[in-house]
Structure 1
Amino acid sequence: MISKEKANSINGRILFLAISIIINSFFNALTVSTQMGSAIWTASAVSLSHWIHISLGNILFLEGVIVAFTNLALLGHFDWFRLLRNLLFITPFSYLLAGFERMFTALGVPQLAIGWRIILDIGGLFGVAAAVSLYQRANIIMHPNDDLPYILRFRFMHGSSVYSQWMSNVSPLIIVVLVFIIKGHWYSFGFGTIYNILTQGFLIGWSDQHFFPILHHHLEFKN
């Protein structure tokens, strides 16, 4: 069992970061393949991919770049190091997710009975929240989409994982609705997306306390 001191050392935090990237891309891809609704940011990327006919991996990357610059605006100063760290996260994550999604599709997940797909979707969304909790606490590099609620949480919302998560969901929700208006179809938006919007903040907070609780938050700025 890893000690608290080792878990919160730089090597321990890097280890948890690597684990979280794999967990996050794996479970995000699982939710997409169930076709029952994925996390809202992933749903927005899938929607944009179908709308403008650019690969999911490239859309995830481009969306991440835009959000990364938004985060710098919220911080009130241009932080090249933070931007670089955001880009270092989204590069492997975006293409791992796209690869895992192709794997799950090849394994026949979209053809499973609806009951199994709901179960896999809920499990996948829990895995996403647990992964977000890990790399938010490690705070070495972070996906811009999750850095956004992290900044909102500790800079503007007094540490609330719930309210910060809800606020960060506004932009991707607008994208999903806009694509629906234009295309007349929901892409990767459904039961799981609503479940994600309502519960991810709670699940991240729960994971902070119960999923490798020896790893603490390493903040870079004051509330």
Structure 2
Amino acid sequence: MLVSVLLNAFGNALTVKTALGSAPWTAASLNLSSVFGITVGQALIIVGFIVLIADDFLRGRRSRSLLRDSFNFLYVLSFGYMIDVWLLLMRHMTVNGFILRIAVCVFGIMCIGCALSIYFRVNLVLHPFDDLMKILREKFFHGNVVLAQRVSLGIPLAVGLSIGLVRHQLIGISIGTAVSFLCMGYFILLFDKVLKLHLDRKWTISLPLHHGHHVHAHSKV
């Protein structure tokens, strides 16, 4: 999970640095950060908290869980602040040339896809953005993941475009946004095949005792 958070934040920070468009939720947060004078990570945390509340409303009273919401919000906090850390570390980095910017932007999106592949298989918590897609898929679109993804990602795109139209300045929505919107699912499937995560593999610890005897402890990861 830690690797997933670090890699996801790194990929998003790269797309921000190239200024060629970011993933839809990050693009919306970029526009909000510009309006309110806050960092991208702080904007993502605020948006994540709002979506968390919306998720609970859509899920219904019977399915609400304070413990689950607490863990999901901790994930939102760690992810938001980690993006700010990466952007701080990259503050002196420059990416020159249109072709190089495209390459770095696509690489960043692939890093996000790799991180999501790990994150979905670890299956410990859900970011409210992903939880929203899950709720839409199960409760409103009869299991249609494509439609659920389009609607859930259409929300931040609409927010980003609306802010851009009002301010006459479009931030974070460009080629990278289109690549993320159209190809992220394929990147996740690719890394599902490439990364062999044996998360259910048994491991053994050998504990030495007196007189040369050993005791073996078995568990599962």
TM-score (norm. length: structure 1): 0.80
Q: Which residue of 1 aligns with 2:76?
A: 90
Q: Which residue of 2 aligns with 1:115?
A: 99
Cα 1:204/1:166, change in 2 over 3 Å:
farther
Cα 1:207/1:123, change in 2 over 3 Å:
same
Q: Which residue of 2 aligns with 1:207?
A: 191
Q: Which residue of 1 aligns with 2:158?
A: 174
User: Aligned Cα RMSD in Å?
Assistant: 2.0
Give the stretch that moved more between structures: 151-160 or 169-178.
151-160
Q: Which residue of 1 aligns with 2:53?
A: 69
Q: Which has the higher strand share?
A: 2
Q: Unaligned 5+ residue runs, structure 1?
A: 1-16, 217-223
SS of corresponding position for 2:91: helix
Cα 1:202/1:73, change in 2 over 3 Å:
farther
Q: Does 1:45 align with 2:29?
A: yes
Given that 1:37 and 1:188 are in contact with CA atoms closer than 8 Å, whether structure 2 keeps it comes out as yes
Post-superposition shift, 1:160? 5.1
Post-superposition shift, 1:178? 0.9
Q: Work out the number of aligned pairs and report it.
A: 198
SS of corresponding position for 1:169: helix
Post-superposition shift, 1:213? 5.3
Given that 1:23 and 1:128 are in contact with CA atoms closer than 8 Å, whether structure 2 keeps it comes out as yes
Cα 1:45/1:171, change in 2 over 3 Å:
same
TM-score (norm. length: structure 2): 0.81
Residue identity matched to 1:138: V
Residue identity matched to 1:106: H
Distance in 1, matches of 2:113 and 2:4, equals 10
Q: Which has the larger radius of gyration?
A: 2
Q: Which has the higher helix share?
A: 1
SS of corresponding position for 1:122: helix
Question: C-alpha offsets along residues 190-220 of structure 1, whole Å, 9 cap, x if unaligned?
Answer: 100011111112322333343335459xxxx
For 2:92, which of 106, 109, 121 is the aligned residue?
106
Q: Does 1:28 align with 2:8?
A: no
Q: Unaligned 5+ residue runs, structure 2?
A: 201-221
